[in-house]
Amino acid sequence: IHKAFHGLYPAPQQLRCQALSGVEAPRWNDHDRPEEFNFASHILDYWTQMEKEGKKGPEPAFWWVNSQGDEVKWSFSDLTDLTRRAANVFTQTCGLQQGDNLALILPRVPEWWLVTIGCLRTGVVFIPGTSQLKAKDILYRLQMSGAKAIVTTDTLAPEVDSVASECPALKAKLLVSDHSHEGWLDFRSLIKSASPDHTCIKSKTEDPMVIFFTSGTTGYPKMAKHSHGLALRSCLLSCRKLLQLKTSDVLWCLSDPGWILAIVGCLLEPWASGCTLFVHRLTQFDPKVIVQVLFKYPITQTIAAPGVYRMILQQKFTNLRFPTLEHCSTGGEALLPEELEQWRKHTGLLLHEVYGQSETGITCGVLRGMKLKLGSMGKTISPFDIQIIDDKGHILPPNTEGYIGIRIKPSRPTGLFMYYENNPEKTAEVECGDFYNTGDRATMDEEGYIWFLGRGDDVINASGYRIGPVEVENALAEHPAVAESAVVSSPDSTRGEVVKAFIVLNSQFLSHDKEQLIKELQQHVKSVTAPYKYPRKVEFVTELPKTITGKIKRKELRKKEFGQM
């Protein structure tokens, strides 16, 4: 069942095609805190062993396709082999050690999985980023994290090269490409020649594993650092009840590899249960391709942001009865009850909402088979204890609006981020009494069902992207037309919410064609920072509402957008 990817990698051993013997995935109880845990050795190598003993069926662990007809199928044994090689590339070729940081900016190419698991094996802390990042975003990430290595593609290599001299910590640049590039190590050929012998580190559960850059109301993104506990959480009994994956399942998670949803849905969830992870190399989002893929391949479960399901529904396809699809999950932004109803009507399937942040992974959700309440994003998943709290950390009574809080005292639960790296002030800011304050507003009913209401601050959630207004305002400020701007969230029928910029123009631009100027400003933002942040709505104003101390009242503008004033 294996076709070597472009013939680059050594032919791995064939899977034994024996009947399934109902082999069980390794599990931990919700409150277990093993001193040591490593997803690569405890989970992946376990499945490899099951394959070798003929106790696991012939289903691949990894099934990757693209629109050009290329296909990669890897067994767990293949994954073990290739990721041990990746581990050797990191330690031997690049000289990386446990605890070093590595920036990982790849699209959905098979090497993304080799890098992530190679990092797990060596204890190198990986920092995923979306391929939409631009030179400035990359510079910020490299400087803030002091990353010693970066792995990316030839599209982004020039962007990295343009800032590399300002990143003294950066020692190794690894390229995933069919072509070589001066000053870059060729990851594919290094994997080919590396040894498949490697002993996985014995990581402590509390050792760092991954860092996510996450946007806030003020300033630039913070670094939410997670331990191996994030991976352990996927193996806890309560978490396994969320999707109830079997080894025969084929799971397709459509999240971009830069987000925590991809770490959970494209790595931890499928392999914690030994099922097949399906990946389609979507270069540009296209609902038609998604629908074709769901008809063509035996996919049984999907995970995607609500916008993906919404955009499929908006295409008004005549047939959405997918032959093998059984269970759909969604997270990243709010799902409207109407969208759930439409999806059910057209596909015969429910949309099961999950909720989480870069700091938390999945915290609550509608478990498979659980009673669903329209508009609710389900219940807390243990060992997290979610309560609705006020801004002092007091627990509020049922059906009262407050902040979503996750209990961190007397002990921080497995899977919650450790802290914001190098930022004890921000780490302290989100601690609220006995809770981590997510900053998201919600209510909880008497049965524990949680109803999302929105952000409590100025952070924008557009199409499932968390966007800091300051990041967009700073990008706009670089354009000569902009005297000042205020960026807020605005409702949108396709994307839930979009970024809207209120802009005061410099006098010499007042006479310019406004439509043309809007396009130019949008293009400008797309060119200086990750394009998903660009303002899809722009309004020119003569002044911005401000407090007497001169602070922009974004809340006022936001309320106006949502018709609340």
- The yes or no reply on residue 356 touching ligand BCO (CB under 6 A) is yes
Place of tokens 């396809």: 317
- The yes or no reply on residue 357 touching ligand BCO (CB under 6 A) is yes
- The yes or no reply on residue 464 touching ligand BCO (CB under 6 A) is yes
User: Looking at 331, 365, 378, 456, which residue binds ligand BCO (CB under 6 A)?
Assistant: 331
What ranges in 317-439 are assigned the alpha helix state H? Answer: 337-347, 424-429
Nearer to ligand BCO, 220 or 532 (CB): 532
Is beta strand 125-128 parallel, antiparallel or unpaired with respect to 149-153?
unpaired
- The yes or no reply on residue 110 touching ligand BCO (CB under 6 A) is no
- The yes or no reply on residue 402 touching ligand BCO (CB under 6 A) is no
Nearer to ligand BCO, 34 or 531 (CB): 531
Nearer to ligand BCO, 509 or 532 (CB): 532
Distance between CA 484 and CA 477 in Å, rounded? Answer: 7
Q: Which region among 72-80, 92-100, 354-362, 506-514 touches ligand BCO (by CB under 6 A)?
A: 354-362
Backbone angles phi, psi at 326, to 5 degrees: -115, -30
Q: Which region among 157-165, 302-310, 334-342, 483-491 touches ligand BCO (by CB under 6 A)?
A: 302-310
* Nearest Cα residue to 353 out of 179, 140, 168, 370: 370
Q: Which region among 40-48, 96-104, 173-181, 255-263 touches ligand BCO (by CB under 6 A)?
A: 255-263
> Please, which residues have CB within 8 angstroms of residue 287's CB and are 6 or more apart in sequence?
308, 311, 312, 314, 315
Distance between CA 410 and CA 180 in Å, rounded? Answer: 52
- Closest separation in Å from C-beta 254 to ligand BCO: 7
- Closest separation in Å from C-beta 212 to ligand BCO: 8
Q: Under rule CB under 6 A, which residues in 132-151 are in contact with ligand BCO?
A: 132
Q: Which region among 217-225, 226-234, 301-309, 510-518 touches ligand BCO (by CB under 6 A)?
A: 301-309
- The yes or no reply on residue 486 touching ligand BCO (CB under 6 A) is no
User: Looking at 28, 252, 465, 502, which residue binds ligand BCO (CB under 6 A)?
Assistant: 465
Q: What SS3 class is residue 550?
A: coil
Q: Which helix (H) or strand (E) holds 308?
A: helix 306-314
Structure tokens given for 492: 């949108």
User: Looking at 75, 116, 145, 255, which residue binds ligand BCO (CB under 6 A)?
Assistant: 255
User: Looking at 21, 27, 180, 285, which residue binds ligand BCO (CB under 6 A)?
Assistant: 285
Backbone angles phi, psi at 161, to 5 degrees: -60, -35
Is beta strand 125-128 parallel, antiparallel or unpaired with respect to 101-105?
parallel
- The yes or no reply on residue 332 touching ligand BCO (CB under 6 A) is yes
Q: Are the C-beta atoms of residues 448 and 363 closer than 8 Å to each other?
A: no
Size of the residue set binding ligand BCO (CB under 6 A): 22
- Closest separation in Å from C-beta 354 to ligand BCO: 6
User: Looking at 394, 514, 526, 555, which residue binds ligand BCO (CB under 6 A)?
Assistant: 526
DSSP 479: S
Structure tokens given for 539: 């309004």
Place of tokens 């062993």: 49
Nearer to ligand BCO, 58 or 531 (CB): 531
Strands, DSSP E only, in 93-164?
A: 101-105, 125-128, 149-153
Nearer to ligand BCO, 161 or 390 (CB): 161
Q: Which helix (H) or strand (E) holds 515?
A: helix 514-528
Q: Which amino acid is at 351?
A: L
User: Looking at 308, 444, 486, 498, which residue binds ligand BCO (CB under 6 A)?
Assistant: 308
Distance between CA 117 and CA 180 in Å, rounded? Answer: 24
Nearer to ligand BCO, 77 or 461 (CB): 461
Rounded to 5 degrees, what angle do the CA atoms 108, 256, 232 make?
A: 95
Where along the sequence are the contacts to ligand BCO (CB under 6 A)?
132, 255-256, 259-261, 285, 305, 307-308, 331-332, 356-357, 361-362, 463-465, 526, 531-532
